[in-house]
A and B are shown apart, each in its own frame.
Chain A
């Protein structure tokens, strides 16, 4: 702890190093900076700009706002924009409301298997949306597990629960995806609140709801807002969920419309114009997110920690029923669709009625390449491809993200805020646009990269590296800059100081970032689908293909493998994170 000397907390001192003047970058820093800049320019900004300029120019390539104007005067498109915002707001609200109790439980209670619970809650975040959609259909569908259970129990003719193919379904699926984000971000902030604040308020007569709204809520607000902004962005650019669970053209988002305009109706101009509108909005939310994220990291300076209570203590309290209810609901929401997918993977259709029975057929296929011709999907090589892209993404995004994190946290220079927002941009730019940009920008000389493995690896890197920045930044901010000064004063060169002192200290962040990068790569589908060739089929693409040929069982088997990989990876991250703290 920075502020503790001899166990006695000192008054926080203003760190003079933070007061250094803003200046321009120089020397080695520029070098550190040049690499990410170059990479981003080639593999992010160029494709992005080449697709966006399409929306700002007419047939002759002359600048015009005509496309944007015509998009904005189209009533259907306006409706789509309004709906996109509406569903994102509702989904965010639902995710936050469902996530808060979980954040509380994780922040304030200890129980066995906590790290496993944490790992499980993180899996949905990286699951490819088609698997989620599949899980939802299998579990919540008209013929799903839930409805069949009710129909069996009450002898009903028709499914009692009409959840899918509506606004409800969209919000439910988005909540499934995103409430873990709320749990993670808010519980981190919550566990860092000075516990004395709560004690002071209690001793002053505050209790229950007033304690929460007057004292706790304002404290966790930055966490809630950061989570909300992030969740909002994700819901704002949601794709597959809307496409399959929404129930048709009535519920369409900007992202889906861009996809339709650009890929289906081939109105690249209108699609790009809409993409510009979407990107502008995303960047705005991105900026809000970064602002709140910074506030959250300020809160990290609190010295005291809550004493965590045993989970059993709340279960025995009057609120026990509520806690149990919450755990059941979240379990149902988060685990059930995943379990449904896993369960389905061990089944096959066996007789004429279409009844299902247990089988290991789909897993056997992984090891016995069924060659129905040169086109069949060899499962094993699909898994290998996914691991390959996962690893390359880690390899590329680590230096990229770390370099940017280092520059933006350690150096104070003009335009740092802009740089921060700009480098986080890929988080807000939909992968549909990115994939289109790659096709548009790189189908001709000088670089024809579509269908090459590195095109996919680079696209994944672009999508994943903001998460490396986030993880590394969080750790970098916590390091006492005096440690570096100490190393330098002991004769270490800046490079050695970084290598010997800083790197070992930020390794937890790097490992966390690597895990995220890996998980994101292994679950990515939108950009991959635009860039792959059959030899480069990844797990999600294979799943998509299997669903297309309505082999739901095989899709579930591959989905299960994907989930297992994600789960293990996140269990690992939590174990490592634990060691470090």
Chain B
């Protein structure tokens, strides 16, 4: 069952939602973005709690704009689980089935299947308040899955759990989603979680879609400064395009000359921003010709696996995450280099030289 949002708009006095995206059948799509960017609102539009002013919500080729939430067959999992405290585990999971009028035997069979699926067999009679956070979330997942939803929506389902549990449950969710081939929309704050799970990532900003792509596209090839910042591409160098040679672009800036792997065609002389991923930087003994910046060490912290280095260059602050232990002292001047495949160009990002 595919899900498409076509120019779905909803206006609020101080905010506007305007989103379009498609999740193909069996795809896990992640909504990413800072707090208040409209992720949860988008989920609520899909679920039917909010009716859009314009646009179309299409589930499996069928327009569902006018359907109330209880007709849409969309499963929902919340960050705070939202298990019905007045019911036990069994009744929680069976709730949707009861609403559909399932008979007793079928219901019991289905709940038993789901309890096995979430690895909590025999938990049916438990009181939901007795369960741990992880268990509660599994039950919430089973509850959402029980009536066989066409779409599964997960609103930061793991963020209330501790790190260890989060990882376990994450792969569990992935496994179940794959097993059931469920089209899923997933909201998360956690980058690692998003990358680990997603077939497709939708980056949102202030109510609109900033970029759509798979994990590696969004991470390695951000289209906007916002996306770049959001996925952690923090180093930016202002430069001018000199020429393009196949997939290699050569640029010039106050820091010197740079060579960047970039497939798109750009106009020569265009002012662009070079993005450099901090973890791909290396410390240079001396400044070489290209792909290097020089500056004074401001901060140098040994983090065990790596060393975090902050230098101030003519172009501003530059950070690098160097593998292993690197000895350097504040005040000393160093050079940092990177290879053409570890940086990227923001073409549509204007700046002042």
Please tell me if the beta carbons of B80 and A203 are within 8 angstroms of each other in the complex: no
> Chain A residues with Cβ under 8 A from B133's Cβ?
11
Please tell me if the beta carbons of A200 and B78 are within 8 angstroms of each other in the complex: yes
Provide the bound-state CA to CA distance between A207 and B189, in Å: 31
Please tell me if the beta carbons of B80 and A304 are within 8 angstroms of each other in the complex: yes
The yes or no answer to A28 lying at the interface (CB within 8 A) is: no
- Specify which of B48, B147, B161 is in contact with A204 (CB 8 Å cutoff): B147
By Cβ-Cβ distance, the 3 closest A-B pairs, closest first, are A204-B96, A196-B82, A218-B86
> Chain A residues with Cβ under 8 A from B146's Cβ?
204
Please tell me if the beta carbons of A205 and B70 are within 8 angstroms of each other in the complex: yes
The yes or no answer to B323 lying at the interface (CB within 8 A) is: no
> Chain B residues with Cβ under 8 A from A10's Cβ?
160
Minimum CB–CB distance for B108 against chain A, Å? 17
Provide the bound-state CA to CA distance between A303 and B73, in Å: 27
Minimum CB–CB distance for B168 against chain A, Å? 15
The yes or no answer to A364 lying at the interface (CB within 8 A) is: no
Considering only residues 191-207 of chain A, those with a C-beta below 8 Å from chain B are 194, 196-197, 199-207
Starting from the known contacts A9-B159, A200-B143, A218-B84, 16 additional A-B residue pairs (CB-CB under 8 Å) come to: A9-B79, A10-B160, A196-B78, A196-B82, A199-B78, A201-B84, A202-B48, A203-B47, A203-B76, A203-B144, A204-B96, A204-B143, A205-B70, A207-B70, A218-B85, A303-B80
The yes or no answer to B264 lying at the interface (CB within 8 A) is: no
Minimum CB–CB distance for B332 against chain A, Å? 35
Please tell me if the beta carbons of B147 and A199 are within 8 angstroms of each other in the complex: no
Considering only residues 1-60 of chain A, those with a C-beta below 8 Å from chain B are 7-11
Minimum CB–CB distance for A223 against chain B, Å? 13
> Chain A residues with Cβ under 8 A from B149's Cβ?
203
Task: Report the count of interface residues on B (CB-CB < 8 A).
Answer: 38
Provide the bound-state CA to CA distance between A206 and B146, in Å: 14
Contact with B along A134-169 (1 / 0, CB 8 A): 000000000000000000000000000000000000
Please tell me if the beta carbons of A204 and B95 are within 8 angstroms of each other in the complex: yes
- Specify which of A9, A197, A201, A304 is in contact with B160 (CB 8 Å cutoff): A9
Provide the bound-state CA to CA distance between A194 and B143, in Å: 17
Q: Which residue of A lies closest to B161 (CB)?
A: A11
> Chain A residues with Cβ under 8 A from B73's Cβ?
205
Considering only residues 283-323 of chain B, those with a C-beta below 8 Å from chain A are none
- Specify which of A196, A206, A219 is in contact with B80 (CB 8 Å cutoff): A196
Provide the bound-state CA to CA distance between A215 and B91, in Å: 12
Q: Which residue of A lies closest to B155 (CB)?
A: A196
> Chain B residues with Cβ under 8 A from A200's Cβ?
76, 78, 82, 84, 140, 143-144
Residues of A within 8 A of B (CB): 7-11, 194, 196-197, 199-207, 210, 214-215, 218-219, 221, 303-304
Given the contacts A11-B160, A199-B47, A199-B69, A205 and B78 also touching, CB distance less than 8 Å: no
Provide the bound-state CA to CA distance between A535 and B319, in Å: 84
Interchain Cβ contacts within 8 Å, total number: 85
Q: Which residue of B lies closest to A206 (CB)?
A: B99
The yes or no answer to B103 lying at the interface (CB within 8 A) is: no
> Chain A residues with Cβ under 8 A from B72's Cβ?
203
Given the contacts A199-B76, A200-B76, A202-B49, A8 and B159 also touching, CB distance less than 8 Å: yes
Provide the bound-state CA to CA distance between A205 and B149, in Å: 10
Provide the bound-state CA to CA distance between A122 and B74, in Å: 43
Minimum CB–CB distance for B164 against chain A, Å? 13
Please tell me if the beta carbons of B100 and A199 are within 8 angstroms of each other in the complex: no
Please tell me if the beta carbons of A201 and B95 are within 8 angstroms of each other in the complex: yes
> Chain A residues with Cβ under 8 A from B100's Cβ?
205
- A selection of 19 A-B contacts at a CB cut-off of 8 Å is A9-B160, A10-B160, A11-B162, A194-B82, A197-B84, A199-B82, A200-B140, A201-B84, A202-B69, A203-B48, A203-B70, A203-B74, A204-B99, A205-B100, A205-B147, A206-B95, A215-B84, A219-B85, A303-B80
Minimum CB–CB distance for A453 against chain B, Å? 51
Most chain A CB within 10 A, of B48, B96, B149, B162, is at B96
Provide the bound-state CA to CA distance between A210 and B49, in Å: 17
Minimum CB–CB distance for A512 against chain B, Å? 28
Please tell me if the beta carbons of A214 and B95 are within 8 angstroms of each other in the complex: yes
> Chain A residues with Cβ under 8 A from B44's Cβ?
199
Considering only residues 5-57 of chain B, those with a C-beta below 8 Å from chain A are 35, 44, 47-49
Provide the bound-state CA to CA distance between A9 and B80, in Å: 8
> Chain A residues with Cβ under 8 A from B222's Cβ?
none
Please tell me if the beta carbons of A7 and B70 are within 8 angstroms of each other in the complex: no
Provide the bound-state CA to CA distance between A419 and B85, in Å: 30
> Chain B residues with Cβ under 8 A from A203's Cβ?
47-48, 69-70, 72, 74-76, 144, 149, 153
The yes or no answer to B68 lying at the interface (CB within 8 A) is: yes
Provide the bound-state CA to CA distance between A205 and B74, in Å: 9
> Chain B residues with Cβ under 8 A from A210's Cβ?
99
Please tell me if the beta carbons of B82 and A219 are within 8 angstroms of each other in the complex: no
Q: Which residue of B lies closest to A215 (CB)?
A: B84
> Chain A residues with Cβ under 8 A from B78's Cβ?
196, 199-200
> Chain B residues with Cβ under 8 A from A194's Cβ?
80, 82
Minimum CB–CB distance for B102 against chain A, Å? 11
Please tell me if the beta carbons of A207 and B76 are within 8 angstroms of each other in the complex: no
Provide the bound-state CA to CA distance between A475 and B140, in Å: 32
Please tell me if the beta carbons of B82 and A206 are within 8 angstroms of each other in the complex: no
Provide the bound-state CA to CA distance between A206 and B71, in Å: 9
> Chain A residues with Cβ under 8 A from B84's Cβ?
197, 200-201, 214-215, 218
> Chain B residues with Cβ under 8 A from A11's Cβ?
133, 160-162
Provide the bound-state CA to CA distance between A201 and B47, in Å: 12
Q: Which residue of B lies closest to A9 (CB)?
A: B160
Please tell me if the beta carbons of A206 and B86 are within 8 angstroms of each other in the complex: no
Provide the bound-state CA to CA distance between A201 and B44, in Å: 14
- Specify which of B70, B144, B160, B162 is in contact with A202 (CB 8 Å cutoff): B70
- Specify which of A7, A205, A207 is in contact with B35 (CB 8 Å cutoff): A7
Considering only residues 71-116 of chain B, those with a C-beta below 8 Å from chain A are 71-76, 78-80, 82, 84-86, 95-96, 99-100
Considering only residues 154-172 of chain B, those with a C-beta below 8 Å from chain A are 159-162
Minimum CB–CB distance for B34 against chain A, Å? 11
Q: Which residue of B lies closest to A197 (CB)?
A: B82
Q: Which residue of A lies closest to B153 (CB)?
A: A203
> Chain A residues with Cβ under 8 A from B76's Cβ?
199-200, 203
Please tell me if the beta carbons of A205 and B82 are within 8 angstroms of each other in the complex: no
Q: Which residue of B lies closest to A10 (CB)?
A: B160
Provide the bound-state CA to CA distance between A194 and B74, in Å: 20
Minimum CB–CB distance for B147 against chain A, Å? 6
Provide the bound-state CA to CA distance between A194 and B153, in Å: 18
Provide the bound-state CA to CA distance between A8 and B144, in Å: 23
Considering only residues 120-178 of chain B, those with a C-beta below 8 Å from chain A are 133, 140, 143-144, 146-147, 149, 153, 159-162
Most chain B CB within 10 A, of A10, A199, A215, A221, is at A199
Q: Which residue of A lies closest to B151 (CB)?
A: A203
Most chain A CB within 10 A, of B48, B75, B84, is at B84
Q: Which residue of B lies closest to A11 (CB)?
A: B133
Provide the bound-state CA to CA distance between A214 and B95, in Å: 9
Provide the bound-state CA to CA distance between A452 and B133, in Å: 61
Minimum CB–CB distance for A309 against chain B, Å? 12
Provide the bound-state CA to CA distance between A202 and B48, in Å: 9
> Chain B residues with Cβ under 8 A from A202's Cβ?
47-49, 68-70
Provide the bound-state CA to CA distance between A214 and B70, in Å: 14
Please tell me if the beta carbons of A199 and B143 are within 8 angstroms of each other in the complex: no
> Chain A residues with Cβ under 8 A from B95's Cβ?
201, 204, 206, 214
> Chain B residues with Cβ under 8 A from A9's Cβ?
79-80, 159-160
> Chain A residues with Cβ under 8 A from B96's Cβ?
204-205
Provide the bound-state CA to CA distance between A389 and B79, in Å: 52
Provide the bound-state CA to CA distance between A221 and B84, in Å: 13
Provide the bound-state CA to CA distance between A156 and B76, in Å: 61
> Chain A residues with Cβ under 8 A from B71's Cβ?
205
Please tell me if the beta carbons of A199 and B159 are within 8 angstroms of each other in the complex: no
Please tell me if the beta carbons of A199 and B49 are within 8 angstroms of each other in the complex: yes
Minimum CB–CB distance for A221 against chain B, Å? 8
> Chain A residues with Cβ under 8 A from B189's Cβ?
8
> Chain A residues with Cβ under 8 A from B85's Cβ?
218-219
> Chain A residues with Cβ under 8 A from B143's Cβ?
200, 204
> Chain A residues with Cβ under 8 A from B80's Cβ?
9, 194, 196, 303-304
